Structure formats: C-alpha cells, structure tokens
Amino acid sequence: MEFGGRYIVAAPRLAVWEALNDTAVLKACIPGCRRIDWVDAASLEAEIGVNLGVVKPVFTGDLVLSNVVPAQSYTLTGRGRGGVLGMAEASADIVLSDIGADPVGRAGETRLVFVATGGASGRIMQLGKKLVGNSAQRVIDGFFERFGEAMGAEVTPLPPETESGPSAS
C-alpha cells in the first residue's frame, strides 16, 4: 500500500527539520503515541495505539533513519508488532525544500513531501487493505495537521499530483 502527501509548512526548513526530530513534538503529533524515545543517533523506539475501526491494536516497534541529508531529507523505516494481530511495516521518504528562503532555510516556508509504502500481516490484513489504507492516510494527514499546531506554524496540504501535474521540486 502507498500513502503520502505534500504540504506547505509556514516555517523555515531548519525549524521543520528540528521539529521532525524532536520526540516531544512527535509524541504530540502521532495519534495514540504512548512513548517515543531516541535509542541512538539513527534509531527510535515507539509504542503506538492504532484505531483501525473495529480493532485498536497497540504496536511496539523500532524506527530507523537512513539516507539522512541534514535539514533536507531522510528515509524512515519502521516495523511494529501488534501482538496477535500480526505485524506492520512501513518505509517513508521525507523531503524538505525551501519556498522563498535563503539557501540554509532561515526564512520563508517549507515544502514537505512524504511518500510511504507499507504493509501488514496476519489479522490486520484480514480487515482489508481498503480499511487499513484509509486509516493510514487519515493518520498521516492528521499527523501533519497536529505537527503544524505543535510548531505554531500553519500546514497546508497540497492536492495530490497527477502524472501530468506539477512536480514536487
């Protein structure tokens, strides 16, 4: 399953980057997040309760950052265990770019592009891809809305791109 979105954050790129790496901000933004802590410079541990409609599993898992280009991009890979419901895993590429800013992102706004793929096993998938997919997209959109609130910056979702539509750069 694929998820994602494009957003304009009314804050400098460096501030957005710092917020994306702040566990207090992340905990406030991730629905159902009970705990999120840095384990080392590139790894986090988290415990998250997920509302999938008819079931509400709690996932514990690990998040790993790779392909890190500070204040520009990284890949976030996670694997969660939902007990008897099975496992879920996802990988997301996050790319930040300046809109009307100087080269180090000290002014203007930031374009944030989020592209993720994920899957699940066991009883979670018995619920159906559509239910899981719709829930995941709502979680992503809600995350970025709360992310803006936590930063004190407006976050505006951009419409999905079409094959003939504008590029994300």
The pLDDT value recorded for residue 164 is 44
Least confident piece of the model among 24-28, 54-58, 81-85: 81-85
Alpha-carbon gap, residue 124 to 85, rounded angstroms: 6
How many whole angstroms separate alpha carbon 10 and alpha carbon 6? 13
Determine which helix (DSSP H) or strand (DSSP E) holds 134, and give its type and residue range: helix 129-151
Q: Which domains does the chain have, with CATH numbers?
A: 2-158 (3.30.530.20)
Cα separation, 138 vs 26, whole angstroms: 16
Please give the pLDDT value at position 166.
47
Give the pLDDT confidence of 101-116 residue by residue, as tens digits. 556 555 689 999 999 8
Tokens standing for 3?
């998820």
Please tell me the least confidently modeled range out of 38-52, 80-94, 123-137: 123-137
Q: What are phi and psi of 82, to 5 degrees?
A: -110, 30
Q: Per-residue pLDDT averaged across 55-83, rounded? A: 85
Query: Alpha carbon of 33 to those of 1, 30, 60, 81, 104: distances in Å?
Result: 22, 5, 10, 14, 32
Mean pLDDT, all residues of the chain: 80
Range with lowest mean pLDDT among 63-77, 125-139, 153-167: 125-139
> Residue 131 is inside which H or E element, if any?
helix 129-151
Most confident of 96-105, 111-120, 150-159: 150-159
**Rounded mean pLDDT, 148-167:** 76
Give tens-digit pLDDT for 128-137: 444 455 566 6
- Helix, strand, coil content of the chain in percent (nearest 5): 25, 45, 30
- Cα distance between residue 96 and residue 119, in whole Å: 25
